[in-house]
Amino acid sequence: MRFGFGWRLEGAREVRRLYARIRGESNAAVLLCANHLTMLDSFVIAWALASPWWLVVHYASLPWNTPDREHFASTWWKRALVYVMKCIPVERGGDRRAIGAVLDRLVYLLERGDVALVFPEGGRSRSGRVDAEATTYGSGRVVKALPGCRVLCLYLRGRGQHSWSSRPAFGERFALSAEVIEPKTDQRGLRGSLDISRQILARLEQMERRHFDGGQ
């Protein structure tokens, strides 16, 4: 990413320090939640969380993610490749039971000490901003199933990124920030999952406002 695409990260040192701290201070589950503008966001986020060598040594800290099956797992060799890269493909807008099975796998992986990355909006934002109205229940369902689960909210945006796209531009510079929250709810079932997901998106909205208001 650095030498092939010429990408650069801003704020990675602080994010990496925070990520290493929360991974080392407790055995509680960690779910990563981020805004979503390009098809390569999950790869940039993994790069931002730690150096490649650190992730080789701490492989459980390389996050699992759930890319769209149509784009990333349409053939057997793509499925094999994305699994090595810790991906569990999901069919966007597919059968609820199949999506639920993917979420259950994420819960299992977090219970055993791995980390997962999800995009609470459920897809790339067509407005170019965090869309709180696009709340999906997935992130909330995972958090609700794991008492004490911590959510690391990540806001990532290329300096030249004005809307959604397939991939960031060549030579892009990414502004990056992260905050930890522990969302909770008294509601049950789907309402509880949606409540937690809304809390996560609300925090990402706050981070986005600070990004633009502060000229980061």
Decide: helix, strand or coil at residue 183: coil
Q: Which domains does the chain have, with CATH numbers?
A: 8-213 (3.40.1130.10)
- CA 198 remoteness from chain centre: 15
Classify 118 as helix, strand or coil.
strand
- Say which residues have a Cβ less than 8 Å from residue 115's Cβ, sequence separation at least 6: 23, 30, 31, 32, 60, 61, 62, 63, 64
Q: Where are the alpha helices (DSSP H) in 26-177?
A: 41-49, 52-57, 69-72, 76-84, 96-111, 138-144
> How do residues 54-70 score in pLDDT, each as one tens digit?
998 999 999 998 877 66
Distances (CA, A) of 211 to 151, 169, 204: 20, 20, 10
Q: What pTM did the predictor assign?
A: 0.90
Residues ≥6 apart with Cβ < 8 Å to 55: 46, 49, 61, 62
pLDDT tens, position by position, 13-30: 999 999 999 999 989 999
Rounded distance, CA 99 to CA 135, Å? Answer: 15
> Which pLDDT value is given to residue 1?
85
User: Which pLDDT score, from 0 to 100, does residue 9 have?
Assistant: 95
Q: Count the Cβ atoms, other than its own, within 10 Å of residue 156.
A: 25
What are the tens digits of pLDDT across the range 157-197? 999 998 889 889 999 999 999 999 999 999 999 999 999 99
Whole-number Cα distances in Å, 30 to 62, 92, 198: 12, 23, 18
